[in-house]
Structures are given as C-alpha cells and as structure tokens.
Structure 1
Amino acid sequence: MVCSSYLKTVILQAGKYIQKVTRGLGQFASLRRSPKTISAVRFSSDRIFPSFRKMMVDTGAATNRGMATNNSPEKLDDGGYASGGWKSEDGKLSCGYSSFRGKRASMEDFYDVKTCKINGQTVCLFGIFDGHGGSRAAEYLKENLFKNLMNHPEFLTNTRLAISETYQQTDSDFLESGKDTFRDDGSTASTAVLVGNHLYVANVGDSRTVISKAGKAIPLSEDHKPNRSDERKRIENAGGVVMWAGTWRVGGVLAMSRAFGNRMLKQFVVAEPEIQELELDEEFELLVLASDGLWDVVPNEDAVSLALLEEEPESAARKLTETAFSRGSADNITCIVVRLYHELETKPQPETQTQSDTEMEPQAQIDPKTEPKTETEAETKTEAQTETEPEATSKAQTETEPEARTGPEGQTETVTKSGPTDG
C-alpha cells in the first residue's frame, strides 16, 4: 500500500512536470519559427529561471574612485533573452547589447557595460563572460572584474599593467572564494576598455573582440585554443597534455587553453590575458565583442558587415544574435556592439576659408565685363581699374580676415557622469 501510494504521488508530480516542459517547448518552438520577434516573446518561467532577471541587470558598481553605471534600460525576457542600449552624453559613443540563452538549457553567458569618470577622465568598459561547467565564475567576473580594475592604483597611468594584474588577481580571488566547494567551473573574458581615445582589448579564452576599420574586420584577440602551437607548448612545458576528444582539449577535458577558474587544471589553464592596444581615429567605425556562440557560426567579416547595416548599435547586436541562432548556433549567444563617432567639425573649416578666399579674388580683379574697343576707352578702363583694385583688395582682406581668426581653439567638452537608470 505504501509503495502504491508513493508511486501515485510520483506519477502525479511527473505529469505536472511534463505539462510544464511541454508548454515551455511549445513556446520555444514558436520562438525558433520567428527569430526576429524574440523580444516580443514572453515566457512564464520565473520558477525555472528565478535568478535570470537579477543576472542580466547591472545596477552599477560604486568605487572609491568614481561611480560606474550601466546607463542602458533593458528589454528583458524571462525565457533567456535581454537587450538594451545607451549613448554617451557627449555623443561620441553609443552601445547596444543582446544576450540569448539559445538552445542551451541554462544561461551561462554574462556581460557588463560600465561608464565612469576617474580624475576627470571618462572611461568606458565593455565585457563578455562565457561560463562553462556552471555560471558562477562568469557571474563573479561580471560583479568584480571591472570594479577591481577601476580600483587598481595604476589604472590610468599604466592601464596595460593594471589590466594584466587585475585579471590574474580576480582569478585568484574567485578560486579562494570557492575553496570549500567541490565546484570546478570557469569562464572566458573578452573586455574592451576605452580611456579617452585609447582602446585596450584583453582576452582570456575563446570569446572574441573584432573592430571595423574602413569596413574591414580586424580581430583584436586570438582565441585561446589548446591546439594553438604556442599554447600547446606552454601547456606541455607545464606538464600538461593536449589531446583530441571530439575537439582539442587540455587533459582531454577543457576545450580552451586559458580561463578563469577551473581549479583542477589551473596549473595549465591560466588567466593571464593577451592585450592589444590602439589609438582610435576616424577610420574606426565600430567594435563587436561576443561569446563563441556567435563566432562559431558567424565569421568576423560577416559580423562587421551585418553590424554596419544597422544604424543603431542595439539593432546591430540583436541582428547578430538572431543571425547566429538562425545559422544553428547550439550555445548561449551574447554580443555587444559599440558604435564610434568622431568629431569632424574642425576639418571642413579650412576648406571653407580657402574657398571663400578664392571666390573673393576674382571678384576684385574682374571688373570690366567687355574688352575695350578703343585706345581711349582702354586707358580710361585701366585708370579706373587701378583706382578700384586697392579698394577691392582692402575690402576683401577686411572681410576674410575675421573668418581666418574664428577657427576652433581646441577647447574640450566636459562630460558629466550619467546616473543609473531603471533596470
């Protein structure tokens, strides 16, 4: 009797669970049929993904050197989709992001977008964190990596060193925080830090950052795969092994050669970032950061060309996410698109002044409309022209000189800090 009643209870509970799963699969099937309307689909799955809303919304991190805020209201979907965007107050930068759980049962991608002012210097930070073996490491990076970086004493004076040391220290802090657990999850990190016009891109793992220059895609990071010759050599020199298990893996386990976390493989799988830096000019158009859920099916060139077709970066990020999903990506898909705007107002002014000068000179020189027919008329015309030329020249100089003195004086625009928005 006891067994029979227990079996009935189990069957009833299983039936309820199957109904929930069936309803969820039906909603997901409709999502697959119409990827362009992802943001309009609402899943009633708060109980299935109770922490997703908290995971995707960044309320900003206060540091003792300034306030970093995420200035972008998000369109959030409890079924595993979020998007949003913001624009800087000075109009030089706008950003859009899109994140989708895709075909995975759980969401392990995280992203972070922050702006702040440190000692009067505007700083923008963008990050993609792709977890594996669980979401804890990626979430830890979202909450702590940029906060630690902005608190580094040499963040502005030696940004490259600050990034390298912060990455590795944050990895140590994460491992220390979980030393009493049996978890062994990890995460990638691909970040872009913009200090003024100077860009620093750091990478650990197989997420990737690509920049568009005059329409051409230029990768600013190289995926850390175990079969990379330099990575294989580093791992083997440390006593590790790289073997094939469906793909190349460290110790036959991990499909990337660098990562945060992964305690059991830490001797071989380091969190030391590779960093590239460059000075931005008017040829650079936009920046794309994404997890491998995008890059597995969307080449660099496609990502840039698709993003350039969209005027707003949020639309570009959504387009890339939808494209990766429609092309069969089996992973979580998260991307950030940063649109760069350059001040070009000062460049046309010299051309305008030159054009004005050239237009004024012919007007002062060409007074007669017809050629003199007689010597007397010619002499009269010559005398009149001699008398009027100095006046015309003097008048032209008087009119053009003030224009030559009214060029830009190199004043910089003060950018005020954006406060946090609802999200």
Structure 2
Amino acid sequence: MVCSSYLKTVILQAGKYIQKVSRGLVQFANLRSAKTISAVRFSSDRIFPSVRKMMVDTSATANRGMTTSNSSEKVDDGGYASGGWKSEDGKLSCGYSSFRGKRASMEDFYDVKTCKINGQTVCLFGIFDGHGGSRAAEYLKENLFKNLMSHPEFLANTRLAISETYQQTDSDFLESGKDTFRDDGSTASTAVLVGNHLYVANVGDSRTVISKAGKAIALSEDHKPNRSDERKRIENAGGVVMWAGTWRVGGVLAMSRAFGNRMLKQFVVAEPEIQEQELDEEFELLILASDGLWDVVPNEDAVSLALLEEEPEAAARKLTETAFSRGSADNITCIVVRLYHELETKPQPETQSDTEMELQSQTEPQMETEAETITEGQTETEPPGPQTEAVTKGGPTDGSKNNQIIRILIQIPSYINWYFD
C-alpha cells in the first residue's frame, strides 16, 4: 500500500509538471502566433499604408437639380490611398486604390461621382495619369466631370457631350496656363454609366476593361505613336514619330493623344475614342487603371484577380499590390466597379414526388443508425474527466495536431486520478 501510494504521488507530481509545461507551450505558441501576425501587418503597412477614407460632398445645383458625390483624393506620406463607395440603390459599388510606387512624386489622380439629372441616375469614374507634372491630371479631376454634367446635351446625346467636353476642357486647361512655362499633360480614361448604358472614353494610354462572364474585354485602345492609324494622323499633321527607347511623338512623348502638352498640341490631340456598351446580367465588373498597372498586369490577369475579391476596394488593393510586386516602376492607380444584377428566383415545389419521398425514407434511418453508432463508440472509449466533458459540450478546440497533443498532456493528471480512484 505504501509503495502504491508513493507511486501514485510521484506520478501525480509528474503529471502536474507535464501540465505546467504543456500550458507554457500553449502560451508560447499563442504569443509566437500573435507576434507573427503583428510582424506581417507591420511589414504590409509599411509598404502599403492604408488611408481608408472617402469624403463625400453632396450638394444640389440650382439649374439642373443634380446631387453629386465626390471621392476626394487623400494621400498619406507613403503616397497610398484607398477607399470604397456603394450606390443607394445597391446596383453597384466601387473601390479605388492609388499608390505612388517607385516614383518620387505622385502624378496619378482619380475621380468618382454619382448624380441625378432630371431623375436619371448617372455614375462617373475616371483615371487621370499625368506626365511632366501633376497639374494637368489634377485639373481634369477637378473639372472634367463637372463640365460634362453641365453640358446641355449630356442626357440627350451623351456621346457628343463627352467628345465636346473633352476637347473644351483641354482648351480651358491650356488657356489657364498660357502665362506659364509648363508643358505637362495627362491621360484620361473615363466610364459614364447612364442607367444601363455605359460610355467609355479614352485619351492616352490609361485603359478600361470590363468582365463579361469571366472574360476580359478591353473597352479602350491605348493611344501609342506606333499604332498605324495614329502614326498616319500625326504624319499627316506634319509631325514625326521617332524611336527613343520607345516610339515617341517628335522623339519626346510616348503617347499620341493627351490633354495639355502645349508644344505638341498640333499632333497630340485630346479628342477621345468612345465605346458604348449596353450592360446586362453577364457583365460583372469594370476596371479602370493607369499604365502603371497595365504595363505589368494583362487584362485577363486583372479580371481574374478582381473576381477573387467580393469587395471592390479589396480588389483594387490587390491589383495595386500585384502590379507593384511584379515590378511596376510607375504610379499605380485603379478603380474597380462591381455590378450587381437582380437574380430571378425560381418557385420551389411545395410537395415532393413519390420517388423523392421513397428515397428520403430509405436514407434517413441509415443516417440515424450511423450517428448512434459513432456516439456510442466515443462514449465507451473516452474515460470520464473534466476536459473530456468540456470538449463534448462544445468547448473551444484547436484543429492542429500540436494542440491536440498538448490537450492530451494536460489531461494526464485527470486520467491518473480516475485510474487510482
């Protein structure tokens, strides 16, 4: 009896030490996991510090009864901004992401607006990629959509309104800087949604792509000097296209159309190319982005990546980070617009067929028998103990093998007490 009692005491003491060590391992594992998560977040935040803000300015104009929502650009010290917006009717939501990247300055701008004109809901999205400075891109952000919504033919002839507004805004910008020595310019890729009708206009090498049943469809074509039709237009106007690292107008500008660029204005026009698209339930999302994205991410990749994310802001962030990780050396800005369509619900039959009822009656008793067998097996093999009872009642458990081993070690004293008692 003395030996048995002594042996029991020794084993219990050993069990308590094992229990303490096991609990220490659990705490260490949790601490290590927390530190790892913190380190990952810290690393991610340093590369892509998040400024998740969208300031919405809602105002009514007296002449046309419009209400406009803006996303004003907020860039932190790291040159990164992101945000999201959803329409009141729930038919679409959008997210944006803009990153300075490896450039010393930020020359990309974006704009998101929604308004009602004569009771018609209109949504406008734009990407403006400046070159030679940020003044032209910022001017477009502040004025292009404002001018477009004020055009008298905006709803009656949207295509004409877009074309005239683009060229008039370009003239206004050049006039505003006529007393300066600046010669900067900007691209513009815009999407205007009037009801279910989409108008995509493009000047320069920013791009708009739409996803239809998972397939990427480009709704704009980059304006490059080596495009045969663009080269012919430039040469007919007395210009020249030269190779200087890439094809350039006059050996200077790597795009054939742009806002601004006063010295090359005779050849580098701001007349947009416009494509129209009637949207139906097959269209899933829209991506507008500067060439900082498209230089390293093909259209198909961009759509595939964006479709993986439920929220458009997360999709925009993923695209921006992917372009940066693939080596983009430019500013990177993109807007993702997710389109929601009403799903038709088919009425469910109230009664089951005789065959379905017969199959159900055959399968249900078998499932119950199997469940009873499993439950009885677990009850017979598991000895009573406090930890076993907690797990049976649905206490928190960890699915990893290491934590299962640790839980078994912690239970050793309880098993010992149960055995000797």
CA contact (8 A) 1:70 1:420 kept: no
Distance 1:55 1:265, change over 3 A: farther
CA contact (8 A) 1:46 1:78 kept: no
Gaps of 5+ in 1: 386-397, 403-407
CA contact (8 A) 1:73 1:85 kept: no
Provide the rounded CA distance (Å) in 2 between the counterparts of 1:341 and 1:122: 15
Deviations 1:232-275 (A, max 9, x none): 00000000000000000000000000000000000000000000
Distance 1:138 1:409, change over 3 A: farther
Provide the rounded CA distance (Å) in 2 between the counterparts of 1:382 and 1:11: 32
Distance 1:67 1:234, change over 3 A: same
Task: Report the secondary structure of 1:27's partner residue.
Answer: helix
CA contact (8 A) 2:53 2:74 kept: no
Per-residue deviation, 1:69: 3.4
Provide the rounded CA distance (Å) in 2 between the counterparts of 1:419 and 1:121: 55
Per-residue deviation, 1:40: 12
Per-residue deviation, 1:53: 12
CA contact (8 A) 2:49 2:80 kept: no
CA contact (8 A) 2:127 2:334 kept: yes
CA contact (8 A) 2:72 2:111 kept: no
Task: Report the secondary structure of 1:55's partner residue.
Answer: coil
Per-residue deviation, 1:346: 6.5
Provide the rounded CA distance (Å) in 2 between the counterparts of 1:347 and 1:98: 38
Provide the rounded CA distance (Å) in 1 between the counterparts of 2:137 and 2:73: 20
Deviates more, 1:73-82 or 1:54-63: 54-63
Per-residue deviation, 1:376: 45
Provide the rounded CA distance (Å) in 2 between the counterparts of 1:214 and 1:137: 36
Deviates more, 1:11-20 or 1:221-230: 11-20
Deviations 1:320-376 (A, max 9, x none): 00000000000000000000001124776999xx999999999999xxxx9999999
Distance 1:347 1:97, change over 3 A: farther
Distance 1:359 1:96, change over 3 A: same
Provide the rounded CA distance (Å) in 1 between the counterparts of 2:13 and 2:85: 45
The percentage of aligned residue pairs carrying the same residue is: 93
Task: Report the secondary structure of 2:388's partner residue.
Answer: coil
CA contact (8 A) 2:224 2:256 kept: yes
Provide the rounded CA distance (Å) in 1 between the counterparts of 2:180 and 2:20: 32
Provide the rounded CA distance (Å) in 2 between the counterparts of 1:151 and 1:39: 50
Deviations 1:136-179 (A, max 9, x none): 00000000000000000000010000000000000000000001
Distance 1:178 1:215, change over 3 A: same
Match of 2:122 in 1: 123
Provide the rounded CA distance (Å) in 2 between the counterparts of 1:283 and 1:414: 50
Match of 1:10 in 2: 10
Count of residues paired in the alignment: 399
CA contact (8 A) 2:320 2:333 kept: yes
Per-residue deviation, 1:65: 2.4
Per-residue deviation, 1:66: 3.8
Task: Report the secondary structure of 1:317's partner residue.
Answer: helix
Provide the rounded CA distance (Å) in 2 between the counterparts of 1:259 and 1:272: 8
Distance 1:274 1:421, change over 3 A: farther
Match of 1:201 in 2: 200
Per-residue deviation, 1:79: 1.8
Deviations 1:366-392 (A, max 9, x none): xxxx9999999999999999xxxxxxx
Give the TM-score of the pair, scaled to structure 2. Answer: 0.69
Task: Report the secondary structure of 1:297's partner residue.
Answer: coil
Per-residue deviation, 1:89: 1.1
CA contact (8 A) 1:90 1:413 kept: no
CA contact (8 A) 2:51 2:74 kept: no
Provide the rounded CA distance (Å) in 2 between the counterparts of 1:325 and 1:148: 34
CA contact (8 A) 1:58 1:112 kept: no
**In the alignment, does 2:279 pair up with 1:280?**
yes
CA contact (8 A) 1:201 1:220 kept: yes
Provide the rounded CA distance (Å) in 2 between the counterparts of 1:246 and 1:37: 44
Per-residue deviation, 1:77: 2.3
Give the TM-score of the pair, scaled to structure 1. Answer: 0.69
CA contact (8 A) 1:210 1:217 kept: yes
CA contact (8 A) 1:188 1:259 kept: yes
| Alignment counterpart, residue 358 of structure 1, candidates 355, 361, 368 | 355
**In the alignment, does 2:395 pair up with 1:414?**
no
CA contact (8 A) 1:99 1:335 kept: yes
Per-residue deviation, 1:27: 32
Deviations 1:110-161 (A, max 9, x none): 0000000000000000000000000000000000000000000000010000
Larger Rg: 2
Per-residue deviation, 1:64: 3.6
Provide the rounded CA distance (Å) in 2 between the counterparts of 1:118 and 1:412: 67
